[in-house]
Each structure stands twice: as C-alpha cells, then as structure tokens.
Amino acid sequence: MKKKILYILIIALAVFMLILPEYIASMPYILNVFILAFYMTTMSMAWNLLGGMTGQNSIGHACFMGIGAYTATLCIVKFGMNPWASLPIAIFVTAFITAVVFSQCFILRGPYFTLVTIAFAEAVRQIILNWDFAGKAIGLGLPYVRGNNWLLFSFKDRAIYYYIAFAMMIAVYAVMKYIDNSKLGFALKTIREDEDVAAAIGIKPLKYKVIAVVISASVSAIAGFFYACYYRYIDPNIMLQSSSVEIVLPAIIGGSAFVEGPLVGGILMVSLSEYLRNTFGGILPGINLILYAIVLIVVIRFRPTGILGFFDRRGRA
C-alpha cells in the first residue's frame, strides 16, 4: 500500500514539474535551481547503478561527467563539430576509458576500490589542468549563439533547458528501472550482496561490473554534455572531489538500495540546498553543505536505508 502511495506521489510530482515552467518562466533563478536538481538527480542515478545496485562505491563520477563534457566541448571548439555529433563521441570516449581502467581495478573490494576511483579522478583532473589543448586551468567556453537554436543546442529560453533536463532525468530513471527488473539487475544485486556466492552460481562478477561501470559512465557523459551546453563553459573544477561527493549524497539520503532513491533525494535535497545557499549564503557561507551533513547524519543514524526505507517493510531492496 505504501509503495502505491509512493508511485502516486511520484506521478503527481512529475505532472507538477511539467506545468511548473508556465508559472516560473519570469524567474530564471528558480528555473536554474530545478535544472540543476534534474542534472544532479541524473548524475546520482548514474552513480546508484554502480554504487547502490552493484555495491561498488565510487567517488569519481564527477570525473566521468568531466570526461564527457571535455570530449564534447573539444569536438565543438577545436574541430568545429556539431554538438549533436559530439555527443556519441563523448559517450564512447568516456565508456572506453572507464572500461579499460576499471576492468583492471575490479579485483579490489571495499575501501580499496573507492580509493582507486578517487585517485583516477584526481589524475584525470591534473592531466586536464596541465593540458594546453584543453585550456589548462582557464577552461574552455562554447561559442555564443543568439536566440534558440536546436541544431547548436543553445537556447535563450531557460524553460527549454528545463524540459530537456527533465526529459533526461525521466529517461535515465526508466532505463534504471528496466535494469533493476532485468536479468542484469538481478546479477548486479547478487554481486552486491555476496560476490563469492554470485560467482558460485555462474554469475561472472568482472563481466557484470564492467557492464555496470560502462552504463554508469555513459549516463554521466550525457549529463556532462548537457552541463557543458547549458553553462557554455567548463574548467577542471567540475571534477573536484567535492562534486563527486555531492553526486553520491542524494542517492544515500533518498535510499541507494532503491531505483527511486536518487530521484527523491536529488530533487528534495538539491532544491533545498540551493534555496538555503541563495537565502542565507551571505550570512553563513556553506550552509547548504551543513544541511547535507546534518541530513546525512540523521539518515544514517535513524534510517540507513534512506528516506524510501520508510516505504519498505523489509527496509531494503
């Protein structure tokens, strides 16, 4: 019964989100907050496939996003490619790099794997930070485009970005929900619970871990492409470790064992975080991070399975 109520609330929320721009079109900051919430939720769902569903706790997803964003931006700025043509290249490059690197690292478990993701992310950031072709610390900017141009993925009207970000989030959720109910999802969750048992019943842990990281990195690359086209500027700071942590928190707060966890945690926490930063940031800098810390402590202390744990009698997926 509780799950039915949850699904009804999610559908009602989706309908509300679709009509919301009609009422806040004259408030660009509010639109920006929702766009950021949709983007962060998408990134958190990408992380949740690897961290929540497979049990491989990565703190390097900001790096995956950054590789996708930089690949797309370099294709546009340096080679004059159309943004839409740069997207599949960004996805391929990100997926290829992560598959090659992490196929050698999945022999590590627990905190050792997490440390590898941190080291990989910082190594990539340092390479870009000192790479002339990628703009070094200055970063890269996309060409300015007047008006709304679908061909060049540039829009003066932020409501268009709102709907694109919302569609991206819903599409990724649909994919994650499909995976969760598929043979692949069963294999990933079995690996999460006990890798040795999974291997004993014929599931190849390395194979499925690589599949998970490739899908997760590909979604991150799509989000990175959107980020670059929306802000029209990127620099190495988008791959800071703090950004990766911000991607993980919505999934943990919402419930990393649930596909809907990042969806609930992302929209609620990012929106509230941005509101606090805008309203009280001048009085108490970093109040949004303080909020994250407080909520995380409360959730871990009283409901380790996250907000959605209250809707599940078993308290887990």
Pairing between β-strand 140-141 and β-strand 233-234 as defined by DSSP bridges:
antiparallel
Core vs surface per residue 223-244: b (16+ CB within 10 A) or e: bbbbbbbbeeebbbebbbeebb
Checking if the pLDDT of 4 tops 90, the result is: no
Least confident window among 78-87, 147-156, 295-304, 306-315: 306-315
Q: What is the pLDDT of residues 71-87, one digit of tens each?
A: 999 999 999 999 999 99
User: Where does the pLDDT of residue 163 fall: very low under 50, low under 70, confident under 90, or very high at 90 and above?
Assistant: very high
Domain ranges of the chain: 2-311
Least confident window among 195-199, 285-289, 298-302: 285-289
Q: Which residues on adjacent β-strands are paired with residue 234?
A: 140
Q: d(Cα 65, Cα 68) in Å, to the nearest integer?
A: 5
- For the chain, give the secondary structure using H, E and C: CHHHHHHHHHHHHHHHHHHCHHHHCCCHHHHHHHHHHHHHHHHHHHHHHHHHHCCCCCCCHHHHHHHHHHHHHHHHHHHCCCHHHHHHHHHHHHHHHHHHHHCCCCCCCCHHHHHHHHHHHHHHHHHHHCCHHHCHHHCEECCCCCCCECCCCECCCHHHHHHHHHHHHHHHHHHHHHHHCCHHHHHHHHHHHCHHHHHHCCCCHHHHHHHHHHHHHHHHHHHHHHHHHHHCEECHHHHCHHHHHHHHHHHHHHCCCCCCHHHHHHHHHHHHHHHHHHHHCCCCCCHHHHHHHHHHHHHHHHCCCCHHHHHCCCCCC
Tokens encoding 97: 């790099």
In this predicted structure, what is the pLDDT of residue 317?
43
Q: What is the pLDDT of residues 199-228, one digit of tens each?
A: 898 899 999 999 999 999 999 999 999 999
Q: What is the mean pLDDT of residues 48-69?
A: 91
| Percent over 70 (pLDDT), the chain | 94
Q: d(Cα 315, Cα 307) in Å, to the nearest integer?
A: 10
Tokens encoding 233: 């500027």
Checking if the pLDDT of 6 tops 70, the result is: no
In this predicted structure, what is the pLDDT of residue 267?
80
Among 1.10.287, 1.10.1060, 1.25.60, 1.10.3470, what is the CATH number of 2-311?
1.10.3470
In this predicted structure, what is the pLDDT of residue 316?
45
- Whole-model pTM: value is 0.89
In this predicted structure, what is the pLDDT of residue 8?
78
Checking if the pLDDT of 51 tops 70, the result is: yes
Q: d(Cα 7, Cα 311) in Å, to the nearest integer?
A: 11
Checking if the pLDDT of 275 tops 70, the result is: yes
In this predicted structure, what is the pLDDT of residue 208?
93
Q: d(Cα 140, Cα 150) in Å, to the nearest integer?
A: 21
Checking if the pLDDT of 234 tops 90, the result is: yes
Q: What is the mean pLDDT of residues 61-70?
A: 95
Instruction: Name the residue with higher pLDDT: 237 or 305.
Output: 237
Q: d(Cα 33, Cα 15) in Å, to the nearest integer?
A: 18
Q: What is the mean pLDDT of residues 21-36?
A: 81
């478990």: which residue's tokens?
109
User: Where does the pLDDT of residue 16 fall: very low under 50, low under 70, confident under 90, or very high at 90 and above?
Assistant: confident
